[in-house]
């Protein structure tokens, strides 16, 4: 009697493992469809070729010194993200300087966290805009 119970339990266990293995999605993350329930697209995109991060400042001019200040404040957490980034400065018609990063082959979510960290920890940055995969996020 005990051996038949053990055999039944072993068969049930084996059937459960087979069932679990049969339901595993074997698609690669790049090939998996990037949608949520209801068909809406997710905002989080991996490895986008170019991501624009615009930092709205209180400055009337900016140079490499200000970029260095930002990178020192956010520290090594984003060091790899900004390693290959292009840096630009643009002054609008009101004389306000916008500091821009063009991030290459980066993650949208990480770029948003980077922009928020800068805004939260740098006194001369008043806001940030991240453009990733034709979607704009304002902070």
38-95 confidence digits (pLDDT tens): 555 555 546 778 999 999 999 988 988 999 999 998 878 888 888 889 999 998 878 8
8-12, 17-21, 112-116 — most confident range: 112-116
pLDDT at 3 > cutoff 80: no
Structure confidence at residue 27 (pLDDT):
46
The answer to whether 112 and 51 are in contact (CB under 8 A) is no
pLDDT at 8 > cutoff 80: no
Look at 21 and 139; give whichever has higher pLDDT. 139
Residue 22 to residue 68: CA distance in whole angstroms: 52
DSSP bridge pairs for 53:
101, 130
């Amino acid at each position: 009697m005990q051996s038949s119970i053990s055999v039944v339990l072993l068969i049930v266990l084996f059937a459960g493992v087979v069932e679990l293995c049969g339901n595993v999605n074997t698609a690669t993350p790049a090939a998996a469809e990037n949608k949520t329930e209801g068909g809406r697209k997710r905002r989080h995109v991996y490895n986008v070729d170019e991501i624009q991060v615009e930092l709205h400042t209180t400055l009337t001019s900016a140079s490499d010194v200000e970029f260095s200040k930002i990178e020192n404040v956010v520290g090594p957490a984003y060091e790899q993200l900004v390693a290959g980034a292009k840096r630009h400065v643009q002054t609008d018609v009101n004389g306000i300087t916008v500091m821009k990063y063009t991030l290459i082959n980066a993650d949208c979510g990480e770029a948003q966290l980077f922009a928020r960290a800068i805004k939260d920890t740098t006194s001369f940055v008043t806001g940030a805009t991240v453009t990733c995969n034709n979607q704009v996020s304002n902070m």
